[in-house]
Amino acid sequence: MDAASAAKDRVDRALALLERRLLDLKSRAAATSGRAPDDDLFAPQPSSETDRARIHELESASRDAAEVLARAADAIRDSLAEQEAR
């Protein structure tokens, strides 16, 4: 497997992990509130502690995903730089 394929695989795994975490957070929120949460970024401010906890979890997951994707992007850049150097 060449470096570009390996980097693509890492990005694919990171995106799959992000999707699983997002679906897990949504399903937990739906189980506790009896309804599926919306994905509206412009929704009104949270009105309960449950909403605040949900927002905190989503923000944490997004930070984790951003870090993973940043590492994957760095790996892709490194792989491309190695290929150009050859």
- Model pTM? 0.46
> What's the token pair of residue 50?
């449950």
> Helix, strand, coil: what percent of the chain each, to 5?
80, 0, 20
Is residue 37 predicted with pLDDT exceeding 60? no
Q: What is the pLDDT of residue 35?
A: 54
Mean pLDDT over 15-30 rounds to 80
For residue range 43-79, what is the model confidence (pLDDT) as tens digits?
A: 666 778 888 888 888 888 988 888 888 888 888 888 8
Name the percent of the chain lying above pLDDT 90: 0
Whether residue 72 contacts residue 14, with contact meaning beta carbons closer than 8 Å, is answered with yes
* Domain edges within the chain: 3-35+49-85
